[in-house]
Amino acid sequence: MKVSLLTTINEQKQTQLILKVSDTGIGIPEDNKARIFERFFQNDVPDSIVNQGSGIGLSITREFVRLHGGHITVDSMVNEGTEFTVYLVFPKTDIETSVPEPKLDLLITAGVEESAVSDPKFVWKSKKPVLMLVEDNEDFRFYLKDNLKEYYQIAEAANGKEGWQKILSIHPDLIVSDVSMPEMNGIDLCRKIKADKRTAHLPVILLTALTTEDEQLIGLETGASDYMTKPFNFEILLSKIRNLLQQQALSKKTYQKQVEFKPLETEIESVDDKFIRQLSFHIEKHLSDSAYTVDQLSADMNMSRVGLYKKVLPLTGKSPVEYIRSYRLLKSKPLLLKSQMTIAEVAYEVGFSNPKHFSKYFKQEFNMLPSAYALIKPDQEPV
Rounded average pLDDT over 85-89 = 86
Segment 113-146, tens digit of pLDDT: 343 343 433 444 457 899 999 999 888 889 889 8
Residue 39 has pLDDT above 80, yes or no: no
Report the share of the chain in percent with pLDDT over 70. 76
Per-residue pLDDT at 114: 40
Per-residue pLDDT at 176: 94
Quote the DSSP letter at residue 225. S
Per-residue pLDDT at 95: 42
Mean of the per-residue pLDDT values of the chain: 79
Pairing of strands 81-90, 71-77: antiparallel
Nearest to 105 by CA among 142, 134, 54: 142
Domains of the chain, each with CATH number or no CATH: 2-96 (3.30.565.10), 114-249 (3.40.50.2300), 262-380 (1.10.10.60)
Q: pLDDT grade, residue 269 (50/70/90)?
A: low
Higher confidence at residue 235 or residue 113? Answer: 235
| C-alpha count within 13 angstroms, C-beta hemisphere, residue 241 | 28
Per-residue pLDDT at 265: 53
Sheet holding 2-9, edge to edge: 2-9, 15-22, 81-90, 71-77
Higher confidence at residue 11 or residue 330? Answer: 330
Per-residue pLDDT at 358: 93
pTM (global) more than 0.75: no
Per-residue pLDDT at 87: 86
Q: pLDDT grade, residue 108 (50/70/90)?
A: very low
Per-residue pLDDT at 285: 92
Per-residue pLDDT at 220: 72
Distance, CA of 383 to CA of 376 (rounded, Å)? 12
Residue 300 has pLDDT above 90, yes or no: yes
Inter-residue contact 89 to 70 (CB < 8 Å): yes
Neighbour tally for 82: CB within 10 Å: 19
Per-residue pLDDT at 132: 93
Per-residue pLDDT at 326: 93
Window from 32-41, 202-211, 237-246, 280-289 with minimum mean pLDDT: 32-41
Residue 88 has pLDDT above 70, yes or no: yes
Window from 99-108, 140-149, 172-181 with minimum mean pLDDT: 99-108
Distance, CA of 63 to CA of 65 (rounded, Å)? 5
Is the N-terminal amide bond of 334 cis, ω within 30° of 0? no
Q: pLDDT grade, residue 324 (50/70/90)?
A: very high
154-180 burial, b if ≥16 CB within 10 A, otherwise e? bbbbbbbbbbbebbeebbbbbbbbbbe
Residue 331 has pLDDT above 80, yes or no: yes
Per-residue pLDDT at 110: 37
Q: Is 151 helix (H, G, I), strand (E, B) or coil?
A: coil
Segment 149-162, tens digit of pLDDT: 889 999 999 999 99
Distance, CA of 34 to CA of 97 (rounded, Å)? 37
Residue 216 has pLDDT above 60, yes or no: yes
Q: pLDDT grade, residue 350 (50/70/90)?
A: very high
Report the share of the chain in percent with pLDDT over 90. 26
Residue 359 has pLDDT above 80, yes or no: yes
Residue 98 has pLDDT above 50, yes or no: no
Q: Is 25 helix (H, G, I), strand (E, B) or coil?
A: coil
